[in-house]
Structure 1
Amino acid sequence: MADGTGRATVDTQLDWASRDSYLERPDMAVVETKSGSRPSEVDRLLWASGHRPARISKFGTGMSALNSSLPRNRWNRVLNNYFS
């Protein structure tokens, strides 16, 4: 929000399924910050801990990890860093 407080959601116990495959990442958390035009305290804490922002779709990234024939360009950074 404009005062820099922001808010965040944290998704855990992640899993994806298709007809042929299943992938689960119980060790992974996706933190989505909502901070408006300025970085929030949550953003600063994440940065200080070495976590850098990445634009992802949990659905798109998971489906690309399950099926190598799907387009991966948009999610390459996340797939290479967290799914390989």
Structure 2
Amino acid sequence: MAWIKKQQADFEALPRQSIREMVSGESHYLWGKQHRLDIVKTSGKHKVSIKGHSIILGLLDTRLDKVSLTTKNIPHQS
């Protein structure tokens, strides 16, 4: 168990990538196909869905033109 804890601590100490911004209208590849990102306001929970050639990112926040993503603000499921 100590080895696992050390590996986890070492992993957490690694340098991280810079903060990434996702902007409505930009292109992303998903499953080998190009999709347009649409950021929309939603109620209840954040959600992601695919509709045609669009990735719909539903957020609760009203400032939807740009979203900054870091590993700190992406919830981890356990």
TM bin, normalised by shorter chain, reads under 0.3
More helix by share: 1
Which TM-score applies when normalising by structure 1? Answer: 0.18
Name whichever structure is richer in strand by fraction. Answer: 2
TM-score (norm 2): 0.19
